[in-house]
Structure 1
Amino acid sequence: MTPDSREPRGPEQISRNEIRKDAIQDSFEATVNAVGQVGGAVTGAVRDVARTLGGLASELFEIRDAARRAQDENRD
């Protein structure tokens, strides 16, 4: 049997192509996992920024309303 033979070998011997395929597959899975984690982090950060800006807008409306009430009370 020659080294390039396509006859089945023992379970401990796999072809170079199989090793490459496994390495590519593992690399792809790791990349997809990392992209997913980054996407989750970005989504969480954007959600937090939106929530914070919404809270700021609410406070600014309350300040504006309080200033108007104070102005109205001092006109009398």
Structure 2
Amino acid sequence: MAGLDDITKKAQDFIEENKDKVEEVLKSEQAEDISDKIIGSVADAANKVTGGKFADQIDDVRENIDKSIGTE
């Protein structure tokens, strides 16, 4: 487990050291396009698996995630 802890610490340090760059990338148009496709696919799969029973909740989560990534 020490190896995983070391990798996690390095990732956290990298993100902290490059916080401005990371935020810039997450707010880019390219991130918006990619995130829309991924989030849409995950939401569609979740609705398919649940038979649409939780469509409203899934849409809410999808919208909240989408607001955090990209430009829209």
TM-score, normalised on structure 1? 0.31
Query: Which structure has the larger Rg over C-alpha atoms?
Result: 1
Q: Which has the higher contact order (CA 8 A, sep 6+)?
A: 2
TM-score (norm 2): 0.33
